[in-house]
Structure 1
Amino acid sequence: MLTTLRRIVLAFGQEPDLDSALQSLVSQVKTAMATQCCSIYLANEELQHFLLMASDGLAKDSLGQVRIAFNEGLVGMVGQREEPINIANAQRHPRFKHAPEVKEEAFNAFLGTPIIHQRRVLGIISVQQQESRQFNENEEAFLVTLAAQLATTLSSAESRGMISAMCKRVDKTHLRAIPGASGLASGQCFVSRPLADLRRITLTKQGNKSKQKKRLQLAIARAYRDMSQMRNRMSGTIPKDTLDIFDMYQQMLSSASIGDDIEANIDAGWDAQSALKLVIDRYVAQFEAVEDSYIRERAVDIRDLGNRVLLHLQDYQQKHVRLPDDLILVAQEVTASMLAEYQHKGLRAIISLSGSINSHAVILARALGIPAIMGVGDLPLTSFAERPAIVDGYSGEVFLSPSAEQVTHYQRLMDEERELQQEVREVTELEPVTEDGHAIELLMNAGLVAEFDQSMKHGSSGIGLYRTEIAFMERTSFPSEQEQVSAYQNVLASFPGQTVVMRTLDIGGDKTLEYFPINEANPFLGWRGIRVTLDHPEIFLVQVRAMIRANIGQENLQILLPMITSLQEVDEALRLIEQAFLEIAQEQSVDIQKPQVGVMIEVPSLIFQISQLAERVDFFSVGSNDLTQYLLAVDRNNERVASLYDAYHPAVLRALNFIAKQSGEKNMSLSLCGELAAEPGGAILLLAMGYDKLSMNSFNIPRIKWVIRHISLQHARQMLETCLQLDTADAVHQYINRQLEQLGFGGFIRAGK
């Protein structure tokens, strides 16, 4: 039966259309179990019912129509108990619910089991038979095993909005999917379909290899030019670090490996289009197989670039299309290049039938302040064409052909949102001081950009975390000392008189170098951060020397040591930094300043060594993302347990508060860099704990500054005191959200002001 199970699950996962996949599944299960009926019901949590979605045995016209409440019938009982239910004569059971439209009068035996993913019932799979009998243990085990394996695939479909779309067919005007970028917008839908699509290419042989290679090279050059034009068009509109998305596209286009692979296929006899398709499809498959969601999303970029090259291979001339003035862009998969193409043409929002919050389109949308909805599902694009719509990027809702009442309601919310955004902009250059006079510093996280103009700082007072490893990741070999000096000088000079905290090379975990591979079974608990650089002092010394040399004449550098676990690591790192400083001092004819050195508190062991650490270093910086991950033993990139990752977990909040108290007793400067600092609720709690500095992505600084300027330290401490007494992360979230609403900060977590 194991072979049968694998075959059924594999076939289900490979079917692109969820409708077809479910229908094929029930037919295969019916055959495999030699029953007379197999059915699947999917859960609609919003409406609190199970919807019959596929069946081989029940009436076909009942599919998508029959609803069974969570507390009704045998299907509801399976969901409530969250365990298999095996009944010899179902129609005599007190929970049996007669639904004449399904025509199941002939069936007596019933076996149903829940499909559960991360403690949530996604649906029910059942089999039925005319004979009154209980299904045997092997049959029950088969169905339970099948349901467990289906859970992951169905959860993936749910995350892309496919299940939500199927369950809402009765109301095609109100859709709910994944909120990608917050904000509200109204306008008219414009459906964009790819002008060139590699999936439609039929593989063809071609004899003239030289001609095909010339066609390919010209098409790549034109696609490269397109990316330059898109970057230039958006320059000045969004931060430079976000513009680097287009630099990455160009690097991919100029990659020797991709070009050589395509030409190798041409040498094998394929024409340019076929050779391109073969290579792009292979790269897409490789990326889609990666578990990390951010890396997996790069498959979209590869496919987008492939289609862009194909467009020029086909020498397709785009016809002029009349666009609505208030454009809501709808596509099967909105890409970064699409957004760049339309952002200056009245773009108000984007709706993507597939895709995730890790896509480059979403990153761009956030930088542009454009609401984005992702993973709407398998609805036909024609259902959106030329229809007016309202997009709520906070809740992930889309209202097609909205009513007059909905238009009035959302227009009021949009007016309120504009007012709040204007208020936030007005405090950008003001100091982050509470109503009762307590000041805190707001700094920015950085790493992609070497030079910063004033518009990119968003009112920050320096850099709280400069990720030096990003420059290492963009190269094919370790950068020389002089190359690093030049890069660091640009950063330090951009913040004269303001602190710039540079973290030493932090590779390992999810950050790898192509030219320095680290292959481990459990990389987050392996060779990473300071462990790597202490094992390779030649790398560490070159980097520290470059930092110290770049700081000459600037005197605003601070050095941060990542992934510290023990005092011995700190002592060894300080010895090497002292060595580098003395070497530079001997080389220079002028006195130089020794930079302050701090450690990142991200490994739980350091929480209990704060007193000893304070005797060795100048400041602490808490890496809340990794600290949360290690405290809760949760890999936040693993979708099976990612829901357990929560910085508002009582244990995490108490650990952060303990760190703050211990640091305060030692008069240590304390900062925090992590996602918690960029959330209004998180910033308030950290302020109350006593953190001196909060570091975050620059575009979050103005709103956090506005929040701090509109609350008192006393009120923040009252909120902290309550949170520290709560038992669960859910209770903390609920309390924080209620407080934000009462304080008038609700506009930062939902639509309106």
Structure 2
Amino acid sequence: MLTTLRRIVLEFSQEPELESALKKLVSQVKQAMVTDCCSIYLADYQHQHFLLMASDGLAKDSLGHTRIGFTEGLVGLVGQREEPLNIANAQAHSHFKHSPEVKEDELNAFLGTPIIHQRKVIGILSIQQKVARHFDENEEAFLVTLAAQLATVIATTNKHINDAANELHSFRQLKGVAGSAGVAMAPMKVIQPRADLNKLPLQKVYASVEQTQRFIKAIAKTRIDFDAMSMKLANVVSKDSLDIFEVYKQLLDSANIGTEVEEKIKSGWCAESALKLVIDHYAVQFEALEEQYLRERASDIRDLGNRILFNLQQLSLSSEKLPAEFILVANDVTASMIAEYQHQGLKGIVSLTGSNNSHAAILARAMDLPAIMGVSSLPLSQLDHQQAILDGYSGDLFISPDNTLIQEYQHLIEEETALTEKVKSVANLPAITPDGRPIELVLNAGLSAGFEHSQKVGAVGIGLYRTEIPFMNRSCFPSEHEQTLWYKEVLAAFPTQAVTMRTLDVGGDKALPYFPISEDNPFLGWRGIRITLDHPEIFLLQIRAMIRANIGHNNLEIMLPMITSVTEVDDAVRLINQAYHELCTEFNERLTKPRVGIMLEVPGVIYQLKELAQRVDFFSVGSNDLTQYLLAVDRNNARVATIYDYYHPSVLRALNVIAQESTNYLVPLSLCGELASEPAGALLLLAMGYDKLSMNSHNVARVKWVIRHVEMQRAKVMLSHALTLSTAKQVHNYLNEQLEQLGLGGFVRAGM
């Protein structure tokens, strides 16, 4: 039966049309379970009923017409109870609803089970039989298992009631991942790839000289394209935000990619096929990685490949008639798409795939373009030119909104525009409360090949520079000289302010292509400081490069990731001292010794803060991972993402304990994570006693404005009450109310 089950689910998921998918499903289930009837009903929450969508056994004329209320009949009872219902004689049951049009008078036995996705009943699957009997345990287990597997398929493939009822043009709300804050209201413009390696058939031509020349010309043209795209954006965003195009050009210059394509050509493949084979190989390597950010790089690789293919095929840009303003929608929005359309009325971005770590999301934030990622249930073919509202704060997408919603969001857009202009006035002012409590606002940097930081946003240094990203764009570990050049550039950006560099944080969920790691549970595996201590040759090389780069700058701080024990700190500090003394000897002078700190992201270290305080110069809380480990939830897993919340009472209380202990031991304390970038979160951290908050550049001015307008005593009152609350929802509601009372309601995410 397991083979039958898999076949039914697989064939259902591969069927593009809802009607044919459901029709095939009920017939297959009826045959597999040897019953007289199988039916499926889908929930319509707008009208509060189940609609009979498909049946093999009931009257065909009733399909798409028979409606059973959520509180009516046996179908409604299954939905209410949210569990299977097995009845020998259904027509004698008190909840049985007689519907003459379905012609089920001869059917007696009934077994129905709910189809539930994320705690919501989205349909009912039932089987019926003429013989009055209870279905046995195996039959019930089969139907329950089938319904559970169908739930995910129905939800993720958009096979739901609104499609069947052809209600796409009525108001509809979809949910994605908030990729970039802001609100946009405009028609949607669906962009389909002009050149798609995925759809390219493989072909051999055995004309290597001609094919190699075509490939070289396509590479040259693609490099020119990226230069042009970068120039288009040069006056719109800072230079550092254009790093993605430098990454693309580095990949074009990569000896590996070019050499491998030419080798494929020499073995007989045409240029297009050779390109597809190589690009697919690299993309699959990235897609196999556990860490979400690294998986996103597969999208960049494929985008690059499609751009080269475009030039190989000598395609020309078709003259598109674009609306004056539009929301760009695509299966996979890429950075090059944004560059191509940003000057033509682009107001927002919706991508069916990706997350807030994709380069498209990073570039969108740099350009203040609202963006939603991972809206997997969008039927692209039916969306072009439809009016939509994009809420980049909450991740909501409203299709064909009504006038009431349009007016509400128009007001929010006006408020957002005014707020953005207002907060710019404090960019270069200190982050200090009206009653004199100062706090440092610094940057998280290093998400791309370069670093996205600028003194113009009002930050006073770098609180977290991720050194692992440059390691990714290579085929082997970088040399000490290469690393020194990288780090000099970063340190020079803030010559009079501290730059905190995190040592190599890979392994487990962030494996390097040339340093593969295979583990059953990567999140609890070999990662961070555990790897670099096991490989002191890698650690020492990086530390030496950092200290060398610091010569003449003297603003370096070193931070150790994923610390779980005092022993790890002792071992790491010993190696740092070794590297420092080696360089002092080599340069024959006493160099500036960098301060050393640790990241607090493993819950266990909360109980060893006293011992750790005696060994390091500062603490920095990695609130994203600390939240993940405290709540035992993978924040990149859509099924449990709603559980991940840094306003969870346990997380707030843990952060407060860390702050109190750090104060007791006189250790400077910072926090880098999403909590620091939210105005309400920043106020709580300020009240706890955090000295420094590290965030993305686009949040600095907003957080600074709020801090400059809320007294420390008021923030402490907010913290005191928040720590007494029992649920994350209560915390959210309370903080939103407080911001409203303070006249800072504009900083509450739109749509709340």
1:445 is displaced (CA, Å) by: 0.9
Q: Which residue of 1 aligns with 2:323?
A: 324
Aligned to 1:147: 147
Match of 2:619 in 1: 620
What are the within-5 Å matches in structure 2 for residues 544-623 of structure 1?
544-623=543-622
Gaps of 5+ in 2: none
Query: Which range moves more in the overlay, 525-534 or 281-290?
Result: 281-290
1:419 maps to what in 2? 418
1:306-385 matched pairs, under 5 angstroms: 306-352=305-351, 357=356, 359-374=358-373, 381=380, 383-385=382-384
Per-residue deviation, 1:312: 2.3
Give 1:673 shift. Answer: 1.0
Asked if 1:172 is matched to 2:163, the reply is: no
RMSD (CA atoms): 3.3
Checking the alignment, whether the CA contact within 8 Å between 1:164 and 1:176 is kept in structure 2 is no
Structure 1: distance between partners of 2:476 and 2:163: 49
Q: CA deviation at 1:9?
A: 2.4
Deviation at 1:315, TM superposition (A): 1.8
Name the CA distance, whole Å, in 1 between partners of 2:381 and 2:434: 53
Deviation string 1:686-709 (CA, Å, 9 cap, x unpaired) is: 111111111112212121112222
Distance 1:549 1:281 in 2: 39
Distance 1:562 1:379 in 2: 39
Are the aligned partners of 1:241 and 1:448 in contact in 2 as well (CA < 8 Å)?
no
Is 1:687 matched up with 2:686?
A: yes
CA distance in 2, matches of 1:739, 1:69: 41
Residue 221 of structure 1 pairs with residue 187 of structure 2: no
In 2, Cα distance between equivalents of 1:203 and 1:60? 45
Is 1:7 paired with 2:7? yes
Partner amino acid for 1:6? R
Give CA-to-partner distance per residue, 1:603-640, whole Å, 9 cap, x none. 22211111122222111111112222222233333444
Q: In 1, distance between residues paired with 2:238 and 2:46? A: 38
Distance 1:546 1:444 in 2: 22
Aligned pairs for 1:258-657 (under 5 A) are 271-276=270-275, 293-352=292-351, 357=356, 359-374=358-373, 381=380, 383-396=382-395, 407-448=406-447, 455=454, 458-657=457-656
**What SS does structure 2 have at the residue aligned with 1:186?**
strand
Go from structure 1 to structure 2 and tell me whether the alpha carbon gap of 1:69 and 1:706 turns closer, same or farther (over 3 Å shift). Answer: farther
Alpha-carbon separation, structure 1, partners of 2:428 and 2:12: 55
Asked if the contact 1:165–1:379 (Cα under 8 Å) also holds between the matched residues in 2, the reply is no
SS at match of 1:726: coil
1:414-460 per-residue CA deviation (whole Å, 9 max, x = no partner) reads 21111111112222222211232211111111124687797465211
Q: Structure 2: which amino acid aligns with 1:699?
A: H
Q: Which residue of 1 aligns with 2:111?
A: 111
Distance in 2, matches of 1:681 and 1:671, equals: 17
The answer to which of 589-598 and 699-708 deviates more is 589-598
Which amino acid is the alignment partner of residue 231 of structure 1?
S
TM-score, normalised on structure 1?
Answer: 0.90
- Alignment CA distance shift 1:340-1:471 (3 Å): same
Q: State the Cα distance separating 1:124 from its structure 2 match.
A: 2.8
Q: d(CA) in 1 for partners of 2:604 and 2:105?
A: 64
1:207, distance to aligned residue in structure 2 (A): 5.2
Cα drift, residue 342 of structure 1: 0.5
Q: Deviations over 1:133-180 (max 9, x none)?
A: 2211111011112223334434534xxx66486378425142322344
Please list the CA deviations of residues 547-568 of structure 1 after superposition, one character each: whole Å capped at 9, or x if unmatched.
Answer: 2222222222111122222212
CA distance in 2, matches of 1:404, 1:706: 33
SS at match of 2:441: strand
Is 1:128 matched up with 2:131?
no
User: What is the DSSP-based 3-state SS (H/G/I as helix, E as strand, rest coil) of the residue aligned with 1:497?
Assistant: coil
8 Å CA contact 1:174, 1:398 repeated in 2? no
Pair 63,403 (structure 1): closer, same or farther in 2 beyond 3 Å: same
Amino acid at match of 2:96: F
Q: Say if 2:240 and 2:453, in contact at 8 Å, map to a contact too.
A: no
User: Equivalences for 1:15-164 in 2 at 5 Å?
Assistant: 15-16=15-16, 20-43=20-43, 49-58=49-58, 68-99=68-99, 102=102, 104-157=104-157, 163=160
Change (3 A) 1:601 1:312: same
Q: How many residues align?
A: 750
Q: How has the CA–CA distance of structure 1 residues 461 and 510 changed in structure 2, closer, same or farther, with 3 Å as cutoff?
A: same
Counterpart code for 1:342: Y
**C-alpha distance in 2 between matches for 1:83 and 1:626:** 36
* Counterparts in 2 of 1:242 and 1:80: CA distance versus 1, 3 Å: farther
1:609 aligned partner, one-letter code: Q
Q: 1:469 to 1:287 in 2, by over 3 A?
A: closer
SS at match of 2:412: helix
Query: Relative to structure 2, which stretch is displaced further, 115-124 or 257-266?
Result: 257-266
TM-score (norm 2): 0.90
**How far is 1:118 from its partner?**
4.9
State the Cα distance separating 1:675 from its structure 2 match: 1.6
Distance 1:218 1:33 in 2: 60
Range with greater deviation from structure 2 (439-448 or 309-318): 309-318
Aligned residue number for residue 212 of structure 1 = 211
> How far off its partner does 1:66 sit?
5.2
SS of the aligned residue for 2:344 comes to coil
Which of 713-722 and 355-364 deviates more? 355-364
Q: Is the 8 A contact 1:184 1:391 kept in 2?
A: yes
Structure 1: how far apart are the matches of 2:641 and 2:420? 31
Distance in 2, matches of 1:20 and 1:255, equals 47
- Cα distance in 1 for residues equivalent to 2:5 and 2:669: 55
Contact 1:43 1:51 in 2 (8 A): yes
- Distance 1:747-1:22 versus aligned 2 partners, 3 A rule: farther
Q: Which amino acid aligns with 1:725?
A: T
Give the CA deviation at 1:490.
Answer: 1.7
Secondary structure of the corresponding residue to residue 622 of structure 1: strand
Q: 1:720: how far off?
A: 1.6
Whether the 8 Å CA contact 1:58–1:103 is kept in 2: the answer is yes
Q: Secondary structure at the match of 2:217?
A: helix
Amino acid at match of 2:533: L
Partner of 2:702 in structure 1? 703
Distance in 1 (alpha carbons) for counterparts of 2:374 and 2:451: 34
Aligned partner of 2:578: which letter?
A: Q
Partner AA of 2:492 in structure 1: A
TM-superposition CA deviations, 1:706-739 (whole Å, max 9, x none): 2222222222222222222222223323333333
Q: How far does residue 534 in structure 1 lie from its aligned partner after superposition?
A: 1.9
> Greater shift after overlay, 343-352 or 189-198?
189-198
Q: Given that residues 436 and 712 in structure 1 are in contact (C-alpha distance below 8 angstroms), is that contact kept between their aligned partners in structure 2? A: yes
Quote the Cα distance in structure 2 between the aligned partners of 1:680 and 1:350: 24
The residue type paired with residue 504 of structure 2 is L
* Kept after mapping to 2: 8 A contact 1:174/1:397: no
8 Å contact from structure 1 (residues 163, 377) kept in 2: no
Deviation at 1:257, TM superposition (A): 5.7
Letter in 1 for 2:544: R
Q: How far apart, in 2, do the equivalents of 1:556 and 1:2 lie?
A: 62
Structure 1: stretches of 5+ with no match in the other structure: none
The Cα shift of 1:399 comes to 5.4
Amino acid at match of 1:177: L
Mapping 1:742-753, distance limit 5 Å: 742-751=741-750
Residues 626 and 414 (structure 1 numbering): CA distance in 2 closer, same or farther, change over 3 Å?
A: closer
SS in 2 for 1:565: coil
- Map of 1:706-721 to 2, 5 A cutoff? 706-721=705-720
Q: Is the 8 A contact 1:190 1:329 kept in 2?
A: yes
Residue of structure 1 in register with 2:659 after alignment:
660
Q: Which amino acid aligns with 1:172?
A: H
* Post-superposition CA distance 1:643-673 (Å, at most 9, x none): 3322222222211111111111112111111
